[in-house]
Each structure stands twice: as C-alpha cells, then as structure tokens.
Amino acid sequence: MSDAAHRGLFLAFEGGEGAGKSTQVRLLTEELAGRGRAVRATFEPGDTPAGTVVRQLLLDRADLALSPRAEALLYAADRAQHVDAVLRPALAAGEVVVTDRYVDSSLAYQGAGRAIPREEVAALSRWATGGLVPDLTVLLDLPPVTGLARARGRAAADRMEAESLEFHERVRATFRELAAAEPHRYLVLDATLPADDLAAAIRARVAALLDPALPR
C-alpha cells in the first residue's frame, strides 16, 4: 500500500528521454475517463505554480550552472509541492492519479546520472514526499540512443536531453535495477513496441488494480 490514508490509485510513469511517457499517460487517462473514473494526469517537474518556476531553472535555463546537489534539491522542492498541492488531495478524493515522472527519476538522473549516492537521493525523496509511493510504476524501457534521437527530433534539447549518451545509459540501468528490485510494483515494457500495444498492456494491468472484473 502506497499510503494508508489515500483512497485513490497512484500510478507513475518512468523512463528515459523519448520513451513515450506523455503519450501513454494521455491514452490511459482518456481510457479511464471514458469509463467514468475520476482521473488526474500530472507531471514533474512543474505542475504547480511554484513548480513552473523550478522547472525553468532545471530544464529551460541551459546557461544556468547547477551543482548536482543543487539540482537534486530543486527536484525535491518541486516534488514536495507537487505531493502536497496535487497528489495527496486527489488521492484523498479517491481519484486515479497518473504522474509523468516521480521519485525514480531522481534516483536515476541525480543518483546515477550525476553520481550522487543513491541512498542520499532516496532519503531526500522520502522526506520530500512524506513517504508517498506509487501503487504501480510503469517503466517504458528504451535504448538511450533511440530515445535521444526521438527527443532531439522534436525540439531543441533541454538540460537533461543534452547530456551524454553515457549519462543516459546510467539512467536506464538504474531504472531497470529499481524495477527488478520490486517486480510486484512495476510493469516494465519495451518502449520500441507500437503505442497501441503498450497502451493495451498498461490498460490490462491498471484494470486488474482497479477492478478485477473489468474487461481487459
């Protein structure tokens, strides 16, 4: 159980650049809303007024030098506000909450990518979230060379997309390690598959969590 007080379902989507998280979040929320479920799609960093400012510092200001620890603290600040202002209220109201990125992204990007000890990032994240853990994390796994080509083909690279291939390889390895450590709480999918195939697999897993009697 991710949080004893909440009545909703908390789903997180994780993966490297270009993995298709935003597409799958959209498809799932449309599906759930069509079934009459109260559902909230959200994202990190930036889905609060304060978070918008933090996102600009983290991703949009390529000219702004940030130390690894400063970067980790900014992500934690965004997440703390996100949990208090968006996630916990929606979950308490019984909604299905679907977030594009959560704690695993910090463990992968700031932990492995920036070489900050993972337990330090984990402790910071636990404090920022008050221990709120997703009921299910969907990991869209994609080779970084493929994901970066997708991401960089859409627009100018942000601060993370501009990092080296080696950086993104470390990020991918950490996502996979986290999923392997808790297989009951993860759905790992090959993000090279067609979007409709991925959506069907996600829909089936979420249906089982919401109501085993729902058609898969």
Which positions make up the binding site for ATP? 15-22
Q: How far apart are CA 33 and CA 170, in angstroms?
A: 36
- Cβ-in-10-Å burial (0-12, 13-18, 19+) of 62 comes to exposed
Strand partners, 139: 14, 188
Is the peptide bond between 45 and the residue preceding it cis, with omega within 30 degrees of 0? yes
Which helix H or strand E contains 96, and what residues bound it? strand 96-100
Q: How far apart are CA 9 and CA 6, in angstroms?
A: 8
At 60, list the tokens: 């949009």
Amino acid (1-letter code) at residue 173: A
Helix boundaries (H) for 101-213: 103-106, 118-129, 144-154, 165-181, 195-210
Task: List the binding residues.
Answer: 15-22
Radius of gyration of the chain (CA): 16
CB 79 within 8 A of CB 128: yes
